[in-house]
Amino acid sequence: MNSRQCRVAVIGAGPSGLALASELAARGISGVLLLEREADAGGIPRHCGHSPFGLREFHRPMTGPGYARRLVATALRQGVELRSGAAVTQIGPGRRLTLSTTDGVETLSAEKIILCTGNRETPRSARLVSGSRPLGILNTGALQALVYLKRRLPFRRPIIVGSELVSFSALLTCRHAGIRPVAMIDSEAEVAAWRGAAILPLLLGTRLLLNTSLQAIHGGERVEAATLLSRDGRSRQLDCDGIIFSGRFVSESSLVRSSHLRLDDAGGGPLIDQFGRCSDPDYYACGNMLHPVDTAGWCWAEGRATAASVAASLDGRLPLAERSLAIEAGSSEIRYFTPQLLALPRSDGSALPAPPHRQLQIRMQQDAAGRLSLRDGERVLASREIRARRERRVLLPLPSIESLRQCRSVTLDFEPA
Amino acid sequence: MPEYRASDALPSDLFDIVVIGSGVVGCAMARRFTLEGANVLVIEKSADMLDGASKANSAILHTGFDAPPPGSQEHGCLLEGYREYREIHARLNLPLLECGALVMAWNEAEAERLDELLQNARRNGVDSARLIGAVEVRAREPGVSASVVAALEIPGESVIDPWSAPFAYLLQALENGASLVRACELVGGGFDGEEWTLETSRGRLRARQVINCAGLYGDRVDRMLIGASDFEIRPRKGQFVVFDKSARGLLKSILLPVPTEITKGVVVCPTIFGNLLVGPTAEEQDSRNDASVDAAQLHALIERGKEILPALRQHAVTAAYAGIRPASEHKDYRIRWYPQQNYCCVGGIRSTGLSAALGIAALVYRQYLDRGNRHRPPADPCWPRVSWIAEAGPRDWQQPGNGGIVCHCELVTRREIRQALDGPLAPGSLSGLKRRTRAGMGRCQGFYCSAEICELTEGRISPQLAVEAT
């Protein structure tokens, strides 16, 4: 078995991994190896053929593929070594990983290993939808790869399940390919994306059915119809030839689940501290595997910020945490948050670099209004009024590391308004 | 010619045996008769083998410890099938996970019944069975609920690959001279006292003898060919939930419930692919092909799974599916020769078919010999080795020249997919490809690999993934 070494191994060449690797290289760190399991780097934007991408990074609207190419070109220009077709199959203690390429398996050791494996949508099976299992049932990701990368149509008249941002991306993808969705449905009373998005299906001739859930799928070889159930209890059958299960993103953290790293059961990604460090501090994580789902631009920015702390740790400015506290969730209305660990100040009083995570990123179970607060017993460390939509990011500023010195336990609470 | 494709004319040869159906029983039958020297043709109405009852089951290789009593057909076939699988699996490169089973008693009433099960096991020749207390159960399976009272340990219960096994049986038959026609549905036929003429959707076939292995349609084939059937298929649906591979570490053994009169009940067990399986339900239904799942039943299975193995709460569901078992109104199998008509019916092979198939084939062949038939076995039969897709053991992604991984969840390589598509017994459908390679069967259910699979399978399967190219 081949074995090699590098300084930093970044797993996953989507927006966060590309940004992180580029930034490390730009900071003069050599030996940055970016591993991508697909044949082409770029991640999910590779197959989002529509705008807008790149506003934050390149200050102009780009299509997903154009944006992905630009990120890859930047990484290569900075001197990142990119290996595509390299699938990491195992990560372990001692900064070692196993990967598979067309040449078989090899092992790799690195001083730091960064997990940027992103997220994916929840498939039909995990949603436990009744009915038969014909062809024509897929997620937006698969639809987009089929339409934009392979120029293939899996159906002509699907139903889109969900109304998150990605659901509208599915709608635009359909439009691009000449697919005419018969309906977009959501079990809630309002669309999950921004409210104004509700106009889009109407403009494109697709019915938007809110308060409506998918009760069963029918069909032999291919999807033939779906039974929809509205909140008032009425059910009806709608002819269609496909189902797009959009959104309900989950962390792609299979590597973490089979590793020594501690997992955040709520968010599904690895536990990290403010510096992006995992429970094994030789590992870092960033991007959508921590917080499914945010935009490519947000992940890109997080990748750049996390690179600063990786760089600090490589040159000795970020020592191991002597002590850290796990933030406890004090309300069942909070779905998950990241970072979940707070590194505490060092006993010798030495300064730490500024962490990349200066805010908690939170998602609520559903639409929620009220006050979020981070407490150490009676002491409020941070607090904020929120009006949050489901699936949307909520931010709560974290106190400075120095101010955590006396903390015994930290709880994230939510009090509904 | 081992397989007659859609464009090939059907053979006019007089076959010694036509086997109707390529479920696990038909595959094992074709293998046994071919290895004994008979000239065998298998016909299958679907585009792919294993498309009926055999496509979904719990994949347990049963010892027969709780089978009907000695003397029943099921008991004999289970014991013999179990033994033969263990003899041949390594030569065919088929996996065997010897994990053992625990029949779990969750209350005193169930614990009392374990004694009776132990006696049954001994009566059935499963001597290694023994009763163990709650402490020992928990020591062996720390993940199970603390409410367990006692268990009956059956060390010989094992887990196999429910698709590779019958695939290997049929492949060995084909490689030793048997023939196969898929997408070929029986529509009628008659016996003239000498030979059978079978009418199919593809044309006419001739055979000296016919063996009905039609599974869910066994009674209908009986009625079509011999005018009557001594059983009636009562389809029984079983739904299953597959948990993510991350849950595999929670359990070493197969956990069986204390069975009731109707069913073995809900099982929690490892799969050969490294998942945990919870199921089945047991639902009587009229339809022989409606394998739809029901959300309420799936939720109930998941809840039951979590009661048994509390840590399952932290793990995601990878897949849900349903299988239909060809139960009949009888408790035992309905294996019967009709000597006047050179016809054998192998019917009512309910949930134990995967374990018993090789034994069923051996039994039917002995009965065939008893009726005076003789063949000369091939001197040096070939033993094909099928692709290894089980979790434990060397996989193609570890080997050079694999073409890269296409399905990352199940680590399926491009070479494995191409070999399946180009090789003998190539899949006729997407499900067939999944069964042969596991591509798309993992936690993302095709989120990442559907597009690639669509391209790789274009023109090779029916129906195609894509309805149109742009």
In words, the CATH class of domain B97-159+234-328 is alpha beta
- pLDDT confidence of A49, banded at 50, 70, 90? confident
ipTM for the predicted complex: 0.96
Q: State the residue range of the domain holding A329.
A: 322-417
Q: Is the pLDDT of residue B263 over 70?
A: no
Name the average pLDDT for chain B.
Answer: 96
Per-residue pLDDT, A195 = 81
Q: What does the alpha-carbon distance between residue A47 and residue A283 come to, in Å, rounded to a whole number?
A: 29
Look at A73-77, A188-192, B224-228, B272-276 and tell me which has the smallest mean pLDDT.
A188-192
Inter-chain residue contact B463 with A132, CB threshold 8 Å: no
Q: What does the pLDDT average to over B46-64? A: 95
Record the tokens describing residue A404, joined without a space: 């955590």
User: Which one-letter amino acid corresponds to residue B425?
Assistant: L
HEC letters along A142-200: HHHHHHHHCCEECCCCEEEECCCHHHHHHHHHHHHHCCCCCEEECCCCCCCCCHHHHHH
Round the average pLDDT of chain A to a whole number and report it: 95
Strand partners, A87: A100
A146 and B398 within 8 Å at the Cβ level: the answer is no
- The span from the CA of A320 to the CA of A90, in Å, is 24
Same domain, A314 and A353: no
Among partner residues B294, B321, B408, which is closest to A37 by beta-carbon distance? B408
Using CB atoms, which residue from B295, B298, B466 is nearest to A152? Answer: B466
Q: Do A102 and B465 touch (CB under 8 A)?
A: no
The pLDDT of residue A51 is 74
CATH architecture of structural domain B3-56+163-232+330-370: 3-Layer(bba) Sandwich (3.50)
Residue of B293, B405, B466 with shortest CB distance to A131: B293
pLDDT at B469: 76
A83 with A152, same domain: the answer is no
Q: How far apart are CA A188 and CA B370, in angstroms?
A: 68
Q: How far is A272 from chain B (nearest CA, A)?
A: 19
- Calculate the CA dihedral of residues B398, A38, A338, B319 and round it to 10 degrees: -70
Which residues in chain B are classed under CATH 3.50.50.60? 3-56+163-232+330-370
Contact flag A87-B293 (C-beta cutoff 8 Å) = no
Q: How confident is the model at residue A3 (pLDDT cuts 50, 70, 90)?
A: confident
On whether both A263 and A341 belong to a single domain, the answer is: no
Cβ proximity of B329 and B176 under 8 Å: no
Distance CA A340, CA A267 (A): 10
Do A144 and A224 lie in a common domain? yes
Q: A297-337: per-residue pLDDT in tens?
A: 999 999 999 999 999 999 999 999 999 999 999 999 999 99
Evaluate if residue B103 carries a pLDDT over 80: yes
- Domain final residue, candidates A303, A318, A333: A318
> Residue B361 has what pLDDT?
98
Residue A4 confidence (pLDDT) above 70: yes
pLDDT digits (tens, 9 = 90+) for A63-88: 999 999 999 999 999 999 999 999 99
A116 and A256, same domain (yes or no): yes
A94-110 pLDDT, tens digit per residue, is 999 999 999 999 999 99
Nearest CA in chain A to B300: A128
Last residue of a domain, one of A273, A299, A318: A318
Do A295 and A308 reside in the same domain of the chain? Answer: yes
Q: What is the pLDDT of residues A338-384, one digit of tens each?
A: 999 999 999 888 889 999 999 999 999 998 999 999 999 999 999 99
How confident is the model at residue B69, as a pLDDT? 86
Can you tell me the mean pLDDT for B236-259? 96
Q: What is the pLDDT of residues B360-377, one digit of tens each?
A: 999 999 999 999 999 999
pLDDT beyond 60 at B127: yes
CA distance B297 to B281: 8
Structural domain ending residue among the three candidates A298, A318, A338: A318
Q: If you measure CA to CA, which chain B residue comes closest to A122? A: B444
Find out whether B225 and B212 touch, Cβ atoms under 8 Å. yes
> Rounded to the nearest 5 degrees, what angle is found at the Cα of A302, between the Cα atoms of A101 and A46?
50
Stretch A204-222: mean pLDDT: 96
- Band of residue B32 on the pLDDT scale cut at 50, 70, 90: very high
pLDDT reported for residue B94: 98
Q: Which of A128, A175, A256, A258 to mutate to test the interface with B (most CBs of B within 10 A)?
A: A128
Which residues in chain A touch residue B319, judged by CB atoms under 8 angstroms apart?
Answer: 125
Nearest CA among A328, A349, A324, A325 for reference residue A337:
A328
Cα A118 to Cα A16, A204, A247, A308, B226: the distances in Å are 8, 30, 14, 20, 60
Domain count, chain A: 3
Query: Which residues neighbour B379 within 8 Å (Cβ) at sequence distance 6 or greater?
Result: none
Q: Which of A128, A133, A153 sits opposite B299 (nearest CB)?
A: A128
CA distance A154 to chain B (A): 4
- Confidence check: pLDDT of A274 > 70: yes
Question: For residue A387, is pLDDT > 90?
Answer: yes
Confidence of residue A294 (pLDDT cuts 50, 70, 90): very high
A2 and A115 together in one domain: yes
**Which residues does chain B have within 8 Å of residue A85's beta carbon, measured at their own beta carbons?**
404
CA A42 to chain centre: 14
- Is there a contact between B397 and A258 if contact means CB atoms under 8 Å apart? no
d(CA A154, CA A356): 42
Which of B20, B374, B15, B32 lies closest to B1 in space, CA to CA? Answer: B15
Percent of the residues in chain A that have a pLDDT greater than 90, as a whole number = 91
Residue B85 confidence (pLDDT) above 60? yes
Q: Binning pLDDT at 50, 70 and 90, where does residue A120 land?
A: very high
Q: Tell me whether residues B292 and A132 touch, CB distance under 8 A.
A: yes
Please tell me the predicted confidence (pLDDT) of residue B215: 97
Q: Do B454 and A153 touch (CB under 8 A)?
A: no
Contact A133 B466 (CB under 8 A): no
Residue B264 pLDDT grade (very low, low, confident, very high; cuts 50, 70, 90): low
Chain B residues closer than 8 Å to A103 by CB:
400-401
Question: B432-465: string of b/e by CB count within 10 Å (b at 16+)?
Answer: bbbbbbbbbbbbbbbbbbbbbbbbbbeebbeebb
CB–CB contact A135 B468 (8 Å): no
The predicted structure's pLDDT at residue B7: 87
SS3 assignment, position A94: coil
Instruction: Name which of A2, A152, A179, A227 to mutate to probe chain B: the one with the most chain B Cβ atoms within 10 A of its Cβ.
Output: A152
For residue B159, CA distances in Å to A397, B94, B97, B212 come to 52, 11, 5, 27
Express each pLDDT in A227-249 by its tens digit.
999 999 999 999 999 999 999 99
Q: Residue A16: which CATH number?
A: 3.50.50.60
Q: Which chain B residues are within 8 Å of A222, Cβ to Cβ?
A: 463, 467
- Identify which of B290, B411, B450 has the shortest CB distance to residue A89: B411
Rounded to an integer, the average pLDDT of A110-135 is: 97
Q: How confident is the model at residue A194 (pLDDT cuts 50, 70, 90)?
A: confident
Residue A149 has its nearest CB partner, among B409, B445, B451, at B451
Average pLDDT over residues B44-66: 95
Task: Give the other-Cβ count within 10 Å of B275's Cβ.
Answer: 25
**Beta carbon pairs, A and B, within 8 Å:** 150
Q: Of A37, A156, A254, which has the smallest distance from its Cβ to B405's Cβ?
A: A37
Region(s) of chain B under CATH 3.30.9.10: 97-159+234-328
* Max Cα–Cα distance, chain A, nearest Å: 69
Residue B451: what residue type? A
Judge if A233 and A284 occupy the same domain.
no
How high is the pLDDT of residue A168? 95
Region A34-51: mean pLDDT is 92
pLDDT reported for residue B216 = 98
In a shared domain, residues A243 and A169: yes
Would you say residue B20 has pLDDT above 80?
yes
Question: Does A154 contact B430 at a Cβ distance shorter than 8 Å?
Answer: no
Q: Are residues A139 and A201 in the same domain?
A: yes
pLDDT of B259 reads 81
Residues A295, A296, A301, A305: is their CA dihedral positive or negative? positive
**pLDDT per position as a tens digit, B62-71:** 999 998 888 9
Fill in the DSSP letter of residue A19: H
pLDDT for residue A396: 97
Distance from CA of B264 to the nearest CA of A (A): 24
Residue A224 and residue A110 share a domain: no
> CA A223, CA A242: separation in Å to the nearest integer?
5
